[in-house]
Structure 1
Amino acid sequence: MSSSPTRFDRGHTDDLMTFLTASPSPYHAVATAAERLEKAGFRQVEETAAWDGTTGGRYVVRGGAIIAWYVPEGAAPHTPFRVVGAHTDSPNLRVKPRPDSGAHGWRQVAVEIYGGPLLNSWLDRDLGIAGRLTLRDGTHRLVNVDRPLLRVPQLAIHLDRGANDGLKLDRQRHMQPIWGLGEDVREGDLVRFLAEGADLGAEDVTGWDLMVHSVEPPAYLGRDRELLAAPRLDNLLSVHAGTAALAAVATAGAAPAHIPVLAAFDHEENGSESDTGAQGPLLGTVLERSVYARGGTYEDRARAFAGTVCLSSDVGHAVHPNYAERHDPTHHPRPNGGPILKVNVNQRYATDGSGRAVFAAACEEADVPWQTFVSNNDLPCGTTIGPITAARHGIRTVDIGVACLSMHSARELCGADDPFLLANSLVAFLK
């Protein structure tokens, strides 16, 4: 990855599309990122094992979260960290504990709404199912049915003449997908189907974390193919960029001024309050253990954290041509204008003036253009893992991302240049 990018590196964007397709769930995203880090020389360490202070790349996986870091040769116990933060989860429909349902000759899968999806974007779309099965011995098996399997059918216009005047979806009654025909509900049918596809016996499966996903592949869009349409850009675009940047810095041999880190959490879309979310202790525990494994003391830990900076990378809003009045009139981020700096004085984003300087320096080093996002004062502002990370760990945090349209849709849209530009800014930051 070059520190001085040329616009629209098709190879990077192609690779992002491959990453998105391979990652229909947080568990798959973590496995895909880990595989790429392994190829860059990183090795997995178990949280239950003793850690040593040797140099090199390491990563920890817990459920749908991954923390990876590279200890350069000569790094002292008090060496500060440079952290790229992101999240692996996306709003979607998730399978309930008793998934088998149906009525009137249709077989259905009972789902629960996860996060804040645009519900209408899931209607009349070919859907697969993915996630993990938990086996009797406590291990997990990833599953991915990446073909048209389910569909949430919309009511025909003839039966709802007012649909175009204001579609109202009942989250319980109207969002349950169909996946076949049959008069009788057969308990265990879905899990049995998934277990057989994974060469398992249904009796071996004691739990599951499953979700549906659009099987339409990512695609370039537009007259000049300058746009990218894809699922889960929020926020696997950032996970992919962070993984690529960390691998690039590690293989180039980072100087011991900082320890580069990737922290990709789960459950951001519903508040981050979990053992794999940014509200949990995972990041702080990993960073502290890295300090202590290198012979550090609490004083070294305090010094390292005081010098640490985190770039919280998540997608943001591009100006919408059909709803420009919903945006701040002087801040109109555009696709392919480079990554965005996200600012909110009420701390929905963690950026302040000193954080802006850090991000601007990284973009200047990488020869990457950048933009600023701030919300319209009349509308509430979303938030990220940024303020959580800053408050929980006491580390300076800056919120950034890539401008997109259709955020929280089953299929989102961004500029095809921007993923590459973001990744290059992250390389410069981690260096």
Structure 2
Amino acid sequence: MSSPYRFDRGHTDDLLTFLAASPSPYHAVANTAARLEKAGFQQVEETDSWDGRAGGRYVLRSGAIIAWYVPEGARPSTPYRIVGAHTDSPNLRVKPIPDTGGHGWRQVAVEIYGGPLLNTWLDRDLGLSGRLSLRDGGQRLVNIDRPLLRVPQLAIHLDRSVTTEGLKLDKQRHMTPIWGLGDPSEGDLIAFLAEETGLDAADITGWDLMTHSVDAPAYLGRDRELVAGPRMDNLLSVHAATAALTAVVGRDNLDHIPVLAAFDHEENGSESDSGAQGPLLGNVLERSIYARGGNYEDRARSFAGTVCLSSDTGHAVHPNYAERHEPGHHPRAGGGPILKVNVNQRYATDGRGRAIFAAACERAGVPWQSFVSNNSMPCGTTIGPITAARHGITTVDIGVAILSMHSARELCGAEDPHLLATAIASFLES
């Protein structure tokens, strides 16, 4: 961007709205699609034939969405500029036989998804969201966004060892939420959801349901310079990438094709038909090339010139645990997006990628920071290395520095989401 960066609190206000409206990956992609359609994008089905006309298109598959904008004059060999992210977050997900309980309590059987900080789900009012699959092949989104469930912690009087040994939670025995009184056989969660959504319980033959905190995202601090909310890992990046992509629509002087790729199942390895390990992104990119009259040679040339920003949250330096961070690299909240580096390829960034991202930030007037893990600490990973290895494209790992990653409620600087979106827009339009 040619003009100096200026903070737009409206972007962060909109992020809070997006987080609250997206309690599951399925809601996240539906809300993303609605924003894309408002900007002129059209949905295409994977089962239909595609044409190569200019304009915005998107594909939905389960909890994933791929969107791309073909400018006028794009050739079959035109490279892509991709922003990758993921729609899922760690939580508690409902088991196939949901009704359980005992001792006069009705409970809902759950399975732990990803790697949540389990203690953050205790004594917190939880709603239930996801999708219902119907006998006729249809699906219905569901969002019970009110206090419905609760995982009660054991009183300290019954476990004095907590004060000396710390809290110890067994995922199977201690994380089952309560949702009523009485005989478990009378709970019938699916019948309750059918009533809430106006469906016949007999028509519901499958479900993908999960808990979420019903506490609304909010500004925090004396000067409201922080944001606390759920699922920032990684809906913050999905929201920023969507805003950036829609901002470049109509700029037909682009010499590349901007893409948003938001996948599901990153928190458990990305190995699914809607995850980054799957074929979805490659299929979409190749079909777009072939729809514009290209061949395998055009595909090879396009991919060779393609660059992907893998955007995911990272760790801000924690004031109470500063020794856990790399001493020379202390990313701070409010300091702008972070560039993630790991020479063991837990992140995909190399020197060339660093230069690409630095140039995008410089054009936009956006400050940025470097992140590398303490050598004594294991390093997490992202869809970045997966994308680079699977598709053979230059990939750069970036994100926003947050605290309380994988908590039911995470924390970041209030300006950082807009700084990230501005940097991404610069990358997509350059």
TM-score (norm 1): 0.98
Alignment correspondent of 1:197: 196
1:32 lines up with 2:40 in the alignment: no
- Provide the rounded CA distance (Å) in 2 between the counterparts of 1:121 and 1:253: 44
C-alpha contact (below 8 Å) 1:37/1:243 kept by paired residues:
yes
Alignment correspondent of 1:307: 305
The one-letter amino acid of 2:23's match is P
1:50-129 equivalent positions in 2, closer than 5 A: 50-129=49-128
- Provide the rounded CA distance (Å) in 2 between the counterparts of 1:4 and 1:137: 54
What secondary structure, in the 3-state scheme, does the structure 1 residue paired with 2:398 have?
A: strand
Instruction: Tell me by how many angstroms 1:254 deviates.
Output: 4.0
C-alpha contact (below 8 Å) 1:133/1:140 kept by paired residues:
yes
Q: Structure 2 regions of 5+ residues with no counterpart?
A: none
C-alpha contact (below 8 Å) 1:3/1:424 kept by paired residues:
no
Please list the CA deviations of residues 182-217 of structure 1 after superposition, one character each: whole Å capped at 9, or x if unmatched: 034237x11111111111000010000000000000
TM-score (norm 2): 0.98
C-alpha contact (below 8 Å) 1:348/1:384 kept by paired residues:
yes
What secondary structure, in the 3-state scheme, does the structure 2 residue paired with 1:185 have?
A: helix
The one-letter amino acid of 1:281's match is P
- Identify if the C-alpha distance between structure 1 residues 273 and 191 changes in structure 2 by more than 3 Å, giving closer, same or farther: same
- Provide the rounded CA distance (Å) in 1 between the counterparts of 2:105 and 2:3: 55
Please list the CA deviations of residues 21-60 of structure 1 after superposition, one character each: whole Å capped at 9, or x if unmatched: 0100000000000000000000000000000000000000
Alignment correspondent of 2:241: 242
Identity of aligned residues (%): 79
Instruction: Tell me by how many angstroms 1:256 deviates.
Output: 3.4
Aligned-residue CA RMSD (Å) = 1.0
Alignment correspondent of 1:329: 327
User: Which segment drifts farther, 164-173 or 297-306?
Assistant: 164-173
- Provide the rounded CA distance (Å) in 2 between the counterparts of 1:183 and 1:139: 32
- Provide the rounded CA distance (Å) in 1 between the counterparts of 2:163 and 2:48: 58
- Identify if the C-alpha distance between structure 1 residues 174 and 140 changes in structure 2 by more than 3 Å, giving closer, same or farther: same
What secondary structure, in the 3-state scheme, does the structure 1 residue paired with 2:133 have?
A: strand
User: Which segment drifts farther, 230-239 or 175-184?
Assistant: 175-184
- Provide the rounded CA distance (Å) in 2 between the counterparts of 1:45 and 1:138: 19
Please list the CA deviations of residues 134-176 of structure 1 after superposition, one character each: whole Å capped at 9, or x if unmatched: 0001111000000000000000011111213310000000000
- Provide the rounded CA distance (Å) in 2 between the counterparts of 1:272 and 1:104: 39
Instruction: Tell me by how many angstroms 1:65 deviates.
Output: 0.1
Alignment correspondent of 2:377: 379
- Provide the rounded CA distance (Å) in 2 between the counterparts of 1:197 and 1:20: 22
1:358-373 equivalent positions in 2, closer than 5 A: 358-373=356-371
Q: Structure 1 regions of 5+ residues with no counterpart?
A: none
What secondary structure, in the 3-state scheme, does the structure 2 residue paired with 1:284 have?
A: helix
- Provide the rounded CA distance (Å) in 2 between the counterparts of 1:108 and 1:204: 23
Please list the CA deviations of residues 257-307 of structure 1 after superposition, one character each: whole Å capped at 9, or x if unmatched: 110000000000000000000000000000000000000010000000000
- Provide the rounded CA distance (Å) in 2 between the counterparts of 1:184 and 1:11: 46
- Equivalenced residue count is 428
Alignment correspondent of 2:182: 182
C-alpha contact (below 8 Å) 1:70/1:261 kept by paired residues:
yes
The one-letter amino acid of 2:108's match is V
- Provide the rounded CA distance (Å) in 2 between the counterparts of 1:19 and 1:365: 28
